[in-house]
Each structure stands twice: as structure tokens, then as C-alpha cells.
């Protein structure tokens, strides 16, 4: 095993992203991401769940530096990418990490053909030969389950699921080593969600991708992910392998998320008790941290909380 494989491909350490706004001379600070640390291994799918406004999208966008981090470090393949933005760093990031967006309508330019949308990244990377670009776009279209003829059409001619496939083709055509998929299926019908999830899974294997999968639905995340991180109000509150998190959720917010997933079984649904999480109890500043309950399973808690979680995990 080489040294490269002993370290995660993406390392996020104590990352924070705060937004401040001034109104009538008063400054308010929103801590969208607040001291988050985790790593993603090469070839792994890392799921990130949480509800709207918990900072999961901000985290994804800070990693590919659409936002500048307030503090903390991000390393990709050992190289720090959280510093000052330069042309070389931008190129390094966009060559290696690509993004798939949530809204398949808003994220595709309605005035560009599919060929132009997917080929744009190649053009920027200096693939000047028109026929070479066409060949690679058509190859990519076929890989995502569309047809070469679709290249000359416009986004409005496609259904939601097909548009999301175009978004995937656009991300993959530049041969990135990692993909950040931000709620790629939330806007789709359940039957179409399954198609897109299966497609992402098979492409991941085919292109040896590392994937960060952001979503609000734990059942979808569990399906695709090797490990899952749960976010709540800017903090990572639980991190574990996806089976572990499903069978032994410890943090109350994770339990609430799990209990909210609708299941196609009327009897158990009617008897099921929903758990609602009302926010954390007040504890002294600094007492909370990510603590490992069992190897590979950490929860954001106090020392006393850790002991309680350990007992709960063993029970």
C-alpha cells in the first residue's frame, strides 16, 4: 500500500464557513458550517444528510471553493486547497472535483445545446478539436443512458430524469477523480430517482470515482453510501458506516431523521412513533466534540454523553 492510500483523498479539518450580514449597523453572523472535520477515502461514497439550512450544501460548495472558508483546512490528495485562490488552484480543483446540482432545470443553460453544455468543460480544458469534443460528448451521453442524437437538442426537450443525466455527463466528461452530488435526486419522481441512483452507482464503479452525496433523505443516502455523516445546524453530529448508522443511530437528530423516512407498509406506518428533535440542550461552550463511541462511529457529544452513548450502543 502506497503512502497515498493511507490518507483519505479528501481531508476536511475543523472547517468553518460563516456568512455575515449587516443591517442597520448591526452585524449578524450565520455559522453555516462550524468546525466540521471528516475524511473521504478514495473510491468511497460519503453521504451527507441533514435538513434544509443545516449547511450541507455550503460544505460541498466550500470544498470546491465556490466559497472561501472562514477557517480550517481542506486537503485534496494531500495538497492544501483551502488557501488563497489562484488560477492554478482553481484549475487543480476543477480538474479533479466536479459537481452535480440539485435542480436539473436551473443548472442547465436553456440556450445551449446538450453538445455545448457537456462540451464546455472540454473546451475550457483546451480540447480545441471540434470533432474530438463531439466524440467525447457522444461517448459520455451513451454512458449515462442517453443517445448520441440527443447532442443537438436543448434542455427543455428532456424530462427531469434525462436532464439530471445530462448534468451527470457534464460532470464526468472532464474525467474528475471526485464528484460532489448535491441533492441529485430530490427534484425527481420516486421511480426516476431509482434510475438516477443506479446510474450513479454504476458510473462510480466504471470510472473509479470518489463521491460525496448530499441529500436530506436518509433512505436514499443509505442506499448509495459507504459512510454517512449527519449534519445539524452547521455541525457534524454523527458519523459512521451506513449500516451502523441505520441499525444503531445514537444522536437524537439521527433518530428523528430515520423515523421520518416513509415506508411502504401501512401497518407499521400507522403504529410507528415519529421522533421529533427539538434541538440540543444547553451545555458549556467547548464541552462538545466529536467523540468515538466505537471505532468508526463518532457522535458530537460531551464526555458524559459519550458514556451514555457507549452504554446504549452495547445494549
| Residue 105 interacting with another protein (CB under 8 A) | no
* Mask for 30-59, x = binds another protein (CB under 8 A): ---------------------xxx------
- Shortest approach of another protein to residue 265 CB, angstroms? 5
| Residue 219 interacting with another protein (CB under 8 A) | yes
Which residue, among 266, 267, 300, has the nearest Cα to 283 in the 3D structure?
Answer: 300
Which residue, among 299, 239, 177, has the nearest Cα to 49 in the 3D structure?
Answer: 239
Q: Which is nearer to another protein, 53 or 83 (CB)?
A: 53
| Residue 154 interacting with another protein (CB under 8 A) | no
Sheet with 227-232, edge to edge strand ranges: 97-100, 178-182, 210-215, 45-49, 227-232, 235-241, 297-301, 289-294
| Residue 109 interacting with another protein (CB under 8 A) | no
Three cell numbers, residue 140 = 459520455
Q: What is the CB-side half-sphere exposure of residue 89 using CA atoms within 13 A?
A: 16
- Shortest approach of another protein to residue 132 CB, angstroms? 31
313 with 248: CB under 8 angstroms?
yes
Assign 3-class secondary structure to 2-64: CHHHHCCCEEEEEEEEEEEEEECCEEEEEEEEEEEEEEECCCCEEEEECCCCCCHHHHHHHHC
| Residue 294 interacting with another protein (CB under 8 A) | no
Q: Which is nearer to another protein, 52 or 281 (CB)?
A: 52
The number of residues making up the chain comes to 315
Given candidates 89, 127, 148, 260, which one binds another protein under the rule CB under 8 A?
260
Interface stretch with another protein, choices 6-14, 39-47, 170-178, 251-259 (CB under 8 A) = 251-259
Q: Which is nearer to another protein, 4 or 149 (CB)?
A: 149
- Binding region for another protein (CB under 8 A): 51-53, 159-162, 189-195, 197-198, 201, 216-220, 222-223, 243, 246, 256-272, 274, 276-277
Amino acid at each position: 500500500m502506497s503512502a497515498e492510500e493511507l490518507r483519505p483523498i479528501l481531508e476536511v479539518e475543523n472547517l468553518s464557513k460563516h456568512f455575515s450580514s449587516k443591517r442597520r449597523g448591526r452585524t449578524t453572523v450565520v455559522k453555516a458550517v462550524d468546525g466540521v472535520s471528516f475524511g473521504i477515502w478514495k473510491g468511497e461514497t460519503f453521504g451527507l444528510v441533514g435538513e434544509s439550512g443545516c449547511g450541507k450544501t455550503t460544505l460541498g460548495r466550500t470544498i470546491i471553493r465556490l466559497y472561501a472558508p472562514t477557517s480550517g483546512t481542506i486537503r485534496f490528495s494531500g495538497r492544501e486547497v483551502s488557501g488563497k485562490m489562484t488560477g492554478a488552484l482553481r484549475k487543480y480543483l476543477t480538474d479533479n472535483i466536479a459537481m452535480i446540482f440539485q435542480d436539473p432545470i436551473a443548472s442547465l443553460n436553456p440556450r445551449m445545446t446538450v453538445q455545448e453544455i457537456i462540451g464546455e468543460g472540454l473546451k475550457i480544458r483546451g480540447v480545441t478539436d471540434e470533432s474530438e469534443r463531439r466524440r467525447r460528448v457522444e461517448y459520455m451521453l451513451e454512458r449515462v443512458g442517453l443517445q448520441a442524437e440527443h447532442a443537438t437538442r436543448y434542455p427543455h426537450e428532456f424530462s427531469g430524469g434525462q436532464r439530471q443525466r445530462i448534468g451527470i455527463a457534464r460532470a464526468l466528461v472532464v474525467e474528475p477523480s471526485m464528484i460532489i452530488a448535491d441533492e441529485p435526486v430530490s427534484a425527481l419522481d420516486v421511480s426516476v430517482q431509482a434510475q438516477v441512483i443506479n446510474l450513479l452507482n454504476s458510473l462510480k464503479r466504471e470510472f473509479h470515482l470518489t463521491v460525496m452525496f448530499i441529500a436530506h433523505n436518509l433512505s436514499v443516502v443509505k442506499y448509495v453510501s459507504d459512510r454517512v455523516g449527519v449534519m445539524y445546524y452547521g455541525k457534524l453530529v454523527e458519523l459512521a458506516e451506513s449500516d451502523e448508522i441505520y441499525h444503531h443511530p445514537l444522536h437524537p437528530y439521527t433518530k428523528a431523521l430515520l423515523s421520518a423516512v416513509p415506508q411502504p407498509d401501512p401497518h407499521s406506518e400507522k403504529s410507528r412513533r415519529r421522533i421529533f428533535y427539538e434541538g440540543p440542550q444547553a451545555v458549556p461552550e467547548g464541552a462538545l466534540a466529536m467523540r468515538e463511541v466505537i471505532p468508526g462511529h463518532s457522535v458530537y457529544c460531551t464526555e458524559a454523553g459519550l458514556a451514555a452513548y457507549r452504554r446504549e450502543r452495547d445494549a
